[in-house]
Structure 1
Amino acid sequence: MASLSLETERLLIRDWSPEDAEAAFRIYGDPDIAMWLTPVMQRVTDLNAMRAVLDAWVEAAPNLAPPTGRWAMVRRSDNALVGGLGLRLLPPYEEDLEIRWQVRQDEWGRGYATEGARALLGWAFAQGVDEVFAVARAANSRAIATARNIGMEWVGETTKYYGLLLQVFRLRRADFEGPLVSS
């Protein structure tokens, strides 16, 4: 996969780097964030583990079929890493494309997940993707609110993905209200 760099009004969405470890640990080491990531990802327990995770993500990136991947969300005004974004195929059949977002807890409520996800969706739809899903546990009110803010439609609940009862949201390219962007 080629390197990705997208800019929004406030954010730069870019590839992860090993130098992001300390800032990334503030996200993926936070138990209040990590509890929503399982079973896809367990809480990162220390800085060395975060370095290993980022090394694995950086190494895997060239082998991922576009538009799948993982990216950092950086605030343009001060270059602070505020979150992460991802596009991945959902198990068990790897047919449905899922968008994921995580934001540093001290940055919650500022709209970064919505802004970053909308930019990433615009890029994914420009790559020819027809629809993207988001899944969330019913108790994850922040993820559900973000999915709705992005413009995603609730389509039901299922245990199909990850063996968990999840709320399913979908956005089709034809319903996307935003620019289609290239990297």
Structure 2
Amino acid sequence: MGELVTKRLVVRDWDLGDAEAALAVYGAEDVAQWLTPETHVVRDAQAMRSVLHAWIEAQPNLVAPAGRWAIVRREDGLLVGGLSLRLLPPYEEDFELSWQIRPDQWGRGYATEASHAVMRWAFDQGIEELFAVARPDNTRAIGAARRLGMEWVGETTKYYDQLLQVFRIRPAELKRV
């Protein structure tokens, strides 16, 4: 993907040097409580470095346009979060967009701004639809999905063996946002 640049942000590949800053995202309990069962809570910088190493190594082997990226604020280079596009289990047919923002940066529209850039890029790669899933009590994620222009399409236990709200967006819907 290279870099995607928005008005305030840069969406870029992860780097091992991001470990300390990434820990402020993935090590935060307010973020970790909502991560999928496959994503482990990260407790220290060394563990975060190991996670980033795995993500960096896996990136070239993912089915396009899947990937994991850092979200960095342009004005000062602060790493404010991460996002990913990946195939949802168990059938790996549906692409999920997910975002994680460090709690001290919540409410500033970073998830929406970065996600819009990645959605446009994914649709340019030929993806026909993207999904976001959230637990019913994850009101922040549900709100973000709606701000992204995603449509609620129902509930399911299909993806992670837990009840999830499912949101979807297609290219024509993104153009209206």
Please, which of 102, 106, 121 is the counterpart of residue 123 of structure 1? 121
Supply the AA of the counterpart residue of 1:150. L
1:39 to 37, 40, 43: 37
Runs of 5+ in structure 1 lacking a partner?
none
1:80 maps to: 78
Contact 2:36 2:160 in 1 (8 A): no
Q: Work out the CA distance in 2 between the residues paired with 1:53 and 1:156.
A: 32
TM-score by length of 1: 0.94
Aligned partners of 2:3 and 2:13 also within 8 Å:
yes
Structure 2 portions without partners, runs of 5+: none
Amino acid across the alignment from 1:38 = T
Relative to the length of structure 2, the TM-score reads 0.97
What is the Cα-based RMSD across aligned positions, in Å?
A: 1.1
Say whether 1:103 aligns with 2:93. no
Is the CA contact 2:13–2:70 (under 8 Å) kept in the aligned structure 1? yes
SS in 2 for 1:129: coil
CA distance in 1, matches of 2:125, 2:36: 28
Structure 1's consecutive aligned runs of 4 or more residues displaced over 3 angstroms after TM superposition are none
Q: Kindly state the Cα deviation for residue 53 of structure 1 after the two structures are TM-superposed.
A: 0.4
How many Å separate the matches in 2 of 1:127 and 1:178? 19
CA distance in 2, matches of 1:153, 1:167: 11
**Which amino acid in 2 is paired with 1:44?**
V
Deviation readout 1:122-164 (Å, 9 max, x if unpaired): 0000000000000000110000000000000000000001001
CA contact (8 A) 2:73 2:80 kept: yes
Q: 2:27 maps to what in 1?
A: 29
Task: Tell me the residue number matched to 2:47.
Answer: 49
Q: State the 1:4 CA deviation.
A: 2.2
| C-alpha distance 142-10 of structure 1, shift in aligned 2 (>3 A) | same
SS in structure 1 at match of 2:11: strand
What number of residue pairs does the alignment pair up?
A: 177
Task: Tell me, in whole angstroms, the C-alpha distance in 1 between the residues paired with 2:54 and 2:45.
Answer: 14
Report the equivalent of 1:144: 142
Q: Percent identity?
A: 62
CA deviations 1:7-26 (Å, max 9, x no partner) are 00000000000000000000
State the Cα distance separating 1:178 from its structure 2 match: 6.7
